[in-house]
A = this chain, B = another copy of it.
């Protein structure tokens, strides 16, 4: 459906063959980079699934197939492991986002691509949204404590800013369009649906992950953003009382 290739490692059991190193004398690992990645993969899945407090270091170790102590050797403690997972997640989505080349498209097409990218990314990388939600439960403590994460956001913000500006200059976007509000709305429309699908399914008694529904939602979200941008700014509205 989309143009991005899968992120680092698939959600379950990394293949990551590391094809042609020495014959693996005994089945031992002895490949620090790989070990680190195995741990990060397992941790990402566990934290995404159970949250920081619900996630178990034990489970992560088992899932990663490494000795539990190695986790502490590499990441010092659970909290910092969580931070590392978060950092890598942000790094991955931003890296892909930065590859979108929005500047080559018309403002409207660029925005459509941007929305699609976000929608598809979180559908294909299920771990991402729960991770963010949980980080918010912790008031973004880990993101704030990490000096690299804020820096990762700049390129995306600037790229989106350029698209909006071009749309405004062209006159194809409503003149009160604001990049921050817009980004938040895009993220809301793309992320919430997935992260809250379980309670939504209680309300509507329907499976939101059925592929037709996903496609419908994708179209709806895109249309909502674009129809907003195409609409003229509100004339001073006949406010109802609330």
A residues adjacent to B (C-beta < 8 A): 1-3, 50-54, 105, 109, 112-113, 116-117, 120, 130, 132-140, 143-144, 149-150, 153, 157, 178, 180-181, 183-185, 187-189, 191-193, 195-206, 216-217, 219-221, 223-225, 227-228, 230-231, 234, 240-242
CA distance A2 to B54 in the complex (A): 37
CA distance A109 to B113 in the complex (A): 33
A121 to chain B, nearest CB (A): 11
CA distance A202 to B193 in the complex (A): 22
CA distance A220 to B185 in the complex (A): 9
A61 to chain B, nearest CB (A): 15
In the complex formed, the residue of B with least CB distance to A86 is B199
For this complex, 24 residue pairs linking A to B, each with C-beta atoms less than 8 Å apart, are: A51-B134, A51-B137, A113-B240, A120-B242, A133-B136, A133-B195, A134-B137, A136-B196, A136-B197, A136-B199, A144-B198, A144-B202, A150-B202, A150-B203, A178-B220, A181-B217, A184-B193, A185-B189, A188-B191, A188-B193, A219-B234, A223-B234, A224-B228, A228-B228
Q: Is the CB of B199 within 8 A of A143?
A: yes
A111 to chain B, nearest CB (A): 10
In the complex formed, the residue of B with least CB distance to A56 is B53
Neighbour of A2 across the interface among B196, B201, B242, CB < 8 A: B242
CA distance A135 to B153 in the complex (A): 29
CA distance A150 to B205 in the complex (A): 9
In the complex formed, the residue of B with least CB distance to A221 is B185
A100 to chain B, nearest CB (A): 9
Neighbour of A204 across the interface among B180, B220, B231, CB < 8 A: B180
Contacts A136-B196, A138-B198, A180-B206 given; 8 further ones with Cβ under 8 A?
A50-B137, A133-B136, A135-B198, A140-B202, A144-B202, A178-B220, A187-B200, A188-B189
Q: Is the CB of B231 within 8 A of A198?
A: no
Q: Is the CB of A153 within 8 A of B202?
A: yes
A172 to chain B, nearest CB (A): 13
Q: Chain B residues near A202 (CB, 8 Å)?
A: 140, 143-144, 149-150, 153
